[in-house]
Chain A
Amino acid sequence: MTWNWKLFLPIGIVVVILVVVLFVWLETKVPQIAVEKTPSPLAEKLEVLPPATGNVNDAVNAILIAVDNELPILDDYDNDAFLVTVDSQEVSDFGQAYDETAF
């Protein structure tokens, strides 16, 4: 019984510490990972621009960020190309209008 206490107490402490560390890590990392995994072309999250400070770097970086924020919208134009062939199924179905077994 005494031997069990001596063995399990340090293990328990280590487990509790690991759980706390994991929890803290998840709190800080998971939201960022989630955002990266679900990119939305027209997402609102990019719209906040750095405030003016009078610093040259801040001014230049703000413009660069603002221009980068437009890129997802421009990438979204790809979807127009996919719309061109959106009627493929209907075109294919037309060829099946004639059913040989009906004749």
Chain B
Amino acid sequence: MAANMILPTVALAQRETPSQKGFCARFSELTSKLDQRIADRQAKLEEKRLERKANLEKKRNERLAKLAERRQKRQENFAEHIAKLEERATTEAQKQAVATFKAAVDSAIAAYKAAVDAAIQAFMDGVDAAITKRKSEVDAALNAFKSAKQAAVDKAKAACANGVDPKTVRETFRADMKAAQEKFKSDRQAIEKLRTLLQSLIAARKEAISKAHEDFKAAMEKARTDLKAAFGVTE
């Protein structure tokens, strides 16, 4: 009787590969290595996120500083041009025309600046929202993977404890993990579709700035024509 109970087990053990044979015995060790790999990769992801945040902030600050510097230079240069035009204006009408010209330019610059700043702000807000959305979706995918992994681990541990054939436990565990991996892959591919949203953000910013630029140029051409008329310049 005892021999009948032992023999099938011995026969089964002879057919098992070493990894199958020790699967249940080594399972805790294997899963703790898996947990470590998951933790390492999550740490690398966090590191990359922090690097992105710092990089984004640095680039934005650099651009804002550069833009402010160029606007300041433009303002100083314009003041010099106005001073020269005022020197040239001999009649009251010409002096008034220079003042009107200055007001028109100031107004066009203010409108342009407001439109550009709004476009930049909308773009930055859009990028920030995209980062938040991506982080939330990636974290959800990560957590789903980790939960599926934990469920597979718990199932395998219970099966091992209940004396299920280690080969079966191993195959079931591998199938469960394969499914978790495939699910993560498909989640990740869906997340990467965010690129379309980013392209639309870029396009919207460019369009807004292009329109502001065209409006500004049109305003400047009108100011040029009006001032030339006041000075009696034809060319």
Binding site for B on A (CB under 8 A): 42, 47, 49-54, 56-60, 62-64, 66-67, 69-71, 73-74, 76-88, 90-100, 102-103
Contacts and interface: CB of A to CB of B under 8 A. Distances in A.
SS class, residues of chain A in contact with chain B: helix
Contacts of B220: 60, 63-64
Contact of B178 (A64, A69, A70, A100): A100
Contact of B123 (A54, A63, A66, A80): A80
Contact of B192 (A53, A85, A95): A85
Contacts of B51: 86
Contacts of A52: 77, 80-81, 83-84
B160 interface: no
Contact of A95 (B78, B87, B130, B185): B185
B177 interface: yes
A57 B199 CA distance: 38
A94 B143 CA distance: 11
Given A87-B52, A95-B184, 6 more contacts: A67-B112, A71-B209, A74-B120, A80-B59, A86-B51, A94-B142
B124 interface: yes
B70 A66 contact: yes
26 contacts: A42-B62, A42-B66, A47-B70, A50-B77, A58-B81, A59-B81, A60-B221, A63-B109, A64-B217, A66-B77, A71-B209, A78-B202, A80-B56, A80-B123, A83-B52, A83-B56, A84-B198, A86-B52, A90-B44, A94-B145, A94-B184, A95-B145, A98-B34, A98-B37, A100-B178, A102-B34
Given A49-B74, A67-B74, A54 B198 contact: no
B78 A63 contact: yes
Nearest to A79: B59
Given A54-B87, A90-B44, A93-B44, A81 B30 contact: no
A67 B110 CA distance: 12
B48 interface: yes
Contact of A54 (B52, B85, B185): B85
A66 B116 contact: no
B188 interface: yes
Contacts of A92: 188
A69 B75 CA distance: 13
A66 B191 CA distance: 41
B82 interface: yes
Interface in B155-208: 170, 173-174, 177-178, 180-181, 184-185, 188, 191-192, 194-195, 198-199, 201-202, 205
